[in-house]
Structure 1
Amino acid sequence: MRFVDREDAGRRLASLLLDYEREQPIVLALPRGGVPIGYEVARALRAPLDVWVVRKVGAPGHSELGLGAVAEGGIVYLNRELMEEVGATDEDIQELVREQAEEVSERVKRFRGTRTPPRLQGRTVILVDDGIATGGTIRAAIEALRQIGPRKIVIAVPVGASQSLEELQPLVEDVVWVHATPSLYAIGAWYEDFQQVPDAEVVRLLERARQRHDASETRPAMGEAPGEEQEVSISAGDALLGGTLGVPLAPRGLVLFAHGSGSSRFSPRNRHVAAILRRHGLATLLFDLLTSEEETIDEVTAELRFDIDLLARRLVQVTDWAASFPATRGLAIGYFGSSTGAAAALLAASERPMRVGAIVSRGGRPDLAWDRLEAVRAPTLFIVGGRDSSVIEFNRCASERMSAPRELQLIPGASHLFEEPGALDSVAELAGRWFIQHLSRATLEEEASPA
């Protein structure tokens, strides 16, 4: 699966690095192509972003053969063994080192301006680029970083040549990638859009990342901060439903979760997906479709969890509540439905075609909303485990019945509950990309429509 662009690649890479958030890392991106990747990683980890400017020192007459590197701060790394092998002396490369040092200095000034260099000593550093082919430049960057003394170096790239990734592993504490391939002829072949990143875009992303991180450092206490989860009470007709709302800084949309049979807003699977969606910049609302009294009845009869009309009506009521709640007012709305909750999401979307901009179904039962599928207008993504054969067929038939934009994605080796390692992360990444693509489009269309 190719990346749409560097932004898409950065988000998918970020989902594999979430465990590093607790280490309060700093993300360093190799300019220019690594900066859009690093921006998404830094945002997901709530980490500062900066550039790490390194210029390779090529062998005299063979510039592609790296004998070392010059890094910002005047750090020079030379591979003495390789120099001896090619017969190069210090005098031979002295002028090359000087030229690259001047270029490093100029780029640092261009990208960082008057800001001071980041403090790296004793910290976890995540070094990011848009891909690794031979690994020469990033190897030189590692050697230069080691001279500063970070606590840990993590290399993170969307795609890399398998052999190069393997060779880098002994040099750092961790190497993380989305795709590894034995034959990487061109990094750009893994991207649908691999246009050169302008210097101005590098500066813009660095400034935007700095502002976001500064804002997160000064945000208020738990329960008041835009990025923190808070409990809410939602009036839905005669019912009062409990909910958990999380709104990140500058949210790109709001995702309402409709959980499956016999579950609640405390579903660990949905909470895991919601956490990843928030790191993608999406607000999330997990709520109970049933009141506590109804849940008590349902535990005995198991009837209400299959009352799709009731569940859909509650979802519509919560959608209307979210559209007027101060923290979420004006946000494009999407639905994430699981099992019977997916049927409720489809039915509710048919009732609110102008308000619901996208739907994702995880292991859903769209067949339970069969009569309303043709009325759904929201782009819909059906995600099913590759081993969930009966549900695959339900989703395939539902997809064929719909006229709205839709896709069916199978997670290889996954069962109905996506309990296999990495399966739920794959669901969250697919969902995040779907919501960002279609909710952004819904927002633009709404802004463009006449008042």
Structure 2
Amino acid sequence: MPWDRTKSRTREEIRPDETVRLPYADRAEAGRVLAERLVPLGLEGAAVLALPRGGVPVGHEIARRLDAPLDVLVTRKIGYPPQPELGVGAIAEGGSPVFDAGLLDRLGLTEDDLADTVAAERAELDRRVAAYRGGRPLPETSGRPVVVVDDGLATGGTARAAVRALRERGPSRLVLAVPVGAAETVARLEPEVDVLVVPAAPWDFRAVGQWYRNFDQLSDRDVIGWLERAGRTAGPDNGPR
């Protein structure tokens, strides 16, 4: 069931859904599990926006089940320059950078210190937007439900940047759907969206890939292929646009 934002939770109350069998076989199976939890929400007319690369095969299954258009919302992690794999923030297309203020303080950094890193990530973000969508703009999201999809939540930085960028575009309902996420991260993201659907939120979370048997790295070509398949299998008004 979707997480109910109106209730506070203790550590014991935040636990994996016992009906979910982990690990997932692959991202497609995870997408099918998510889709069944989204159907009862009444998301007619929704747009499904997947975070590439890993969120796209998950989103493909959801879009097919909801008979909804699938597209991507491109995000980029902002890394700590001496250790780029350490994310200190993230940026999503159409949005402003979102930083982890506490982590910046601990590292003795300001947002201005990361200006060059942000510029480089913006350039890579623009490259990926061009590769995935060409000249197509993001689907219209104002006044309609939007489902944001990823394959997992570790720190949640890119998901937070994505939903904040979309909130500014005025969706009627903002849903974040993820197959598995670290319990602490899930709790922190609840206030950011209208509905948060996470079938499994384990406390012993080390990496997204540990919850999948098949967790292959995806390429830009893979993402484009999933989007093309969505366009071929959807109805005339439901292809990527």
Per the alignment, do residues 185 and 213 of structure 1 end up closer, same or farther by CA in structure 2, a change over 3 Å counting?
A: same
**Are residue 159 (structure 1) and residue 180 (structure 2) matched?**
yes
Aligned ranges 1:18-57 → 2 under 5 Å: 18-57=39-78
Per the alignment, do residues 70 and 134 of structure 1 end up closer, same or farther by CA in structure 2, a change over 3 Å counting?
A: closer
**What residue is the counterpart of 2:96 in the other structure?**
76
**What residue is the counterpart of 1:215 in the other structure?**
236
1:216 Cα deviation from its structure 2 partner: 6.0
Instruction: Give the counterpart of 2:166 among 136, 140, 145.
Output: 145
Instruction: Give the counterpart of 2:224 among 173, 193, 203.
Output: 203
Report the Cα distance in structure 1 between the residues aligned to 2:166 and 2:83, rounded to whole angstroms.
25
Per the alignment, do residues 217 and 112 of structure 1 end up closer, same or farther by CA in structure 2, a change over 3 Å counting?
A: closer
Per the alignment, do residues 193 and 84 of structure 1 end up closer, same or farther by CA in structure 2, a change over 3 Å counting?
A: closer
Report the Cα distance in structure 2 between the residues aligned to 1:185 and 1:145, rounded to whole angstroms.
28
Check the 8 A contact 2:149/2:177 in 1, yes or no.
yes
1:90 Cα deviation from its structure 2 partner: 4.2
List runs of 5+ in structure 1 lacking aligned partners: 219-451
Aligned ranges 1:39-438 → 2 under 5 Å: 39-73=60-94, 75-79=95-99, 81-82=101-102, 83=104, 86-215=107-236
Amino acid at match of 2:219: P
Check the 8 A contact 2:67/2:238 in 1, yes or no.
no
Per the alignment, do residues 66 and 206 of structure 1 end up closer, same or farther by CA in structure 2, a change over 3 Å counting?
A: same
**What residue is the counterpart of 1:248 in the other structure?**
none
Check the 8 A contact 2:48/2:63 in 1, yes or no.
yes
Per the alignment, do residues 207 and 173 of structure 1 end up closer, same or farther by CA in structure 2, a change over 3 Å counting?
A: same
* Higher helix proportion: 1
Over residues 251-287 of structure 1, what are the superposed CA-to-partner deviations in whole Å (9 max), with x where a residue is unaligned? xxxxxxxxxxxxxxxxxxxxxxxxxxxxxxxxxxxxx
Report the Cα distance in structure 2 between the residues aligned to 1:89 and 1:185, rounded to whole angstroms.
28
**What residue is the counterpart of 2:29 in the other structure?**
8
Report the Cα distance in structure 2 between the residues aligned to 1:116 and 1:172, rounded to whole angstroms.
23
List runs of 5+ in structure 2 lacking aligned partners: 1-20
Report the Cα distance in structure 2 between the residues aligned to 1:184 and 1:119, rounded to whole angstroms.
35
Check the 8 A contact 1:161/1:181 in 2, yes or no.
yes
1:24 Cα deviation from its structure 2 partner: 1.5
Report the Cα distance in structure 2 between the residues aligned to 1:159 and 1:152, rounded to whole angstroms.
21
Over residues 218-273 of structure 1, what are the superposed CA-to-partner deviations in whole Å (9 max), with x where a residue is unaligned? 9xxxxxxxxxxxxxxxxxxxxxxxxxxxxxxxxxxxxxxxxxxxxxxxxxxxxxxx
Q: 134-143 vs 54-63, which deviates more? A: 54-63
1:72 Cα deviation from its structure 2 partner: 1.8
Question: For the aligned residues, what is the CA RMSD?
Answer: 2.2
Report the Cα distance in structure 2 between the residues aligned to 1:4 and 1:86, rounded to whole angstroms.
38
Amino acid at match of 2:90: A
Per the alignment, do residues 28 and 87 of structure 1 end up closer, same or farther by CA in structure 2, a change over 3 Å counting?
A: same
Check the 8 A contact 1:155/1:175 in 2, yes or no.
yes
How many residue pairs match? The answer is 217
Report the Cα distance in structure 1 between the residues aligned to 2:236 and 2:150, rounded to whole angstroms.
26
Amino acid at match of 1:79: F
Per the alignment, do residues 133 and 84 of structure 1 end up closer, same or farther by CA in structure 2, a change over 3 Å counting?
A: closer
TM-score with structure 1 length normalisation? 0.45
Percent identity, aligned pairs only? 45
Per the alignment, do residues 136 and 91 of structure 1 end up closer, same or farther by CA in structure 2, a change over 3 Å counting?
A: closer
Amino acid at match of 2:97: Y
1:19 Cα deviation from its structure 2 partner: 2.4
* Higher strand proportion: 1
Per the alignment, do residues 79 and 207 of structure 1 end up closer, same or farther by CA in structure 2, a change over 3 Å counting?
A: same
Secondary structure of the residue that 2:164 maps to in structure 1? helix
**What residue is the counterpart of 1:421 in the other structure?**
none
Amino acid at match of 2:144: R
Report the Cα distance in structure 1 between the residues aligned to 2:82 and 2:215, rounded to whole angstroms.
30
Instruction: Pick 1 or 2: higher relative contact order, CA cutoff 8 A, min separation 6.
Output: 2
Over residues 90-130 of structure 1, what are the superposed CA-to-partner deviations in whole Å (9 max), with x where a residue is unaligned? 43111111100000000011111232221122222111111
1:60 Cα deviation from its structure 2 partner: 4.0
Secondary structure of the residue that 1:178 maps to in structure 2? coil
